[in-house]
Chains A and B, each alone.
Chain A
Amino acid sequence: MSTATASAAWELPSRGKVGMFSLFASEAAIFVIFIVAYLFYAGKSISGPTASVLHAPVLLTVCLLASSLTIHRAVAALRRGDVGAFAGFWVATIVLGAVFLGGTALEWRHLIREEGLTIRTNLLGTTYYSLVGLHAFHVTVGVLAMATVALLTAGGHVKREHAARVDLLSLYWHFVDVVWIAVFLVVYVAGR
């Protein structure tokens, strides 16, 4: 052992990325359990509405997936130093996320009022609202975090040197999208 500086470059992965991917592993494990419960109970409700009342939210899915594109463009812009373009794409991402949340709220209102499906109705209600709700909670957290960054950007505090950190938040957003693909396939394709 010596205390001289090492000659060869000693490069280790960025701790922010490692931390974020570890968080993804944990979140994935949580979602897997909710998905297992959903699939296990599919078709087993004793009474009440069946999965036929669920209609695939294609438009909302397109919005959410598109928001991955916009956030990707936003980060690329910030890396280039183009704060203006960054802000535009960033706000677009927030809007798309908010549309997703709003659309989910409308879907739920329909299910509760017209189809009589609540979290306490039957096994379908319990597993559906829990799984989709858990995902929507994560979308909400992402939207709030992005809104915070948007506020900071409006105040002129976000610059090119913050690109790596903003990128971490975008990784979270991509993860939320990937989880949505899984939830979508489970709820609207496999579970019906």
Chain B
Amino acid sequence: MVIKVSDLPEEEMILPGTRLCSGCGIQLAYRWALKALGPKTIVTNPASCSTVCGGVGGYTPLKVPTFYCCFETVAANAAGAAAALKAKGQDKEIVVLAWAGDGGTYDIGIQGLSGASERGDNFIFSCVNNQAYMNTGIQRSGATPYGATTTTTPILGKRQLNKNMRKIMEAHGLIYIAQTSVGYPRDIYEKFRKAREFNGKGVRYIEILGTCPPGWGFPTDQSVNLAKLAVETGYWPLLERIDGKLVVSQPSKRYLDKSKRKDIREFLKGQARFRRLTEEDIKVWENYIDAQWDEIRAELEKQGDI
């Protein structure tokens, strides 16, 4: 699907003036996801930074129906909403969006997500991954990358790699899985449009790398740049898995060639959470990126795509 910029809808589903931090990547993700899904979307949102976006005291910038839920329950919530729409014959016209953070996806929310995925409940699950429990004050999560300092890995930095959530979701055999980044609004838009088109075919999983100025430790005007650097260094490939087939998205295709990838240091150095990384730690990052692309390349070869 190629979307021209001139085709993008002008209508905003989030009014200006949210309570998100300045420079927050979530707002970009939320804005483009909702533009793609349109007004007939019902959002369910667990405890996360996005809960703050929804406003307090009954006034909300969101123009679509939204209901909040407990931290671990968003997928079950979406499953229940989807079941009700089906019972009422409204499942074709209305789309249910579970909008969670990485804690609500990788950690506390994984059981409900796995259950709904296995059952084939009809909704889009979106994880805005800002790589720690940012809303509660930057504690480590299963999505926090290697070496990052957080308020619960304050001195040594995280000594483990992040969980590979994409592979976990792939193991569920979903019809549509995508990875995108807030540095690429059009990519976000296209992927949510596609997820919408797979309505009725079970859970569609989209993970968005969401930059976080206070949690990652960078100036607010660098949000988009860092979200792009994550892609340009090959750390965060933009890709899709459509009905089992792996597709590397256009902006990431060139990084199949290792020589085109920027040095990972460019991504790491601008963030206070990585200020204590040693050369040895950076080696771990480089190996992580290389292994990731080796796997992607092998799979594309197997598919006959390269």
Asked if chains A and B come from one complex, the reply is no
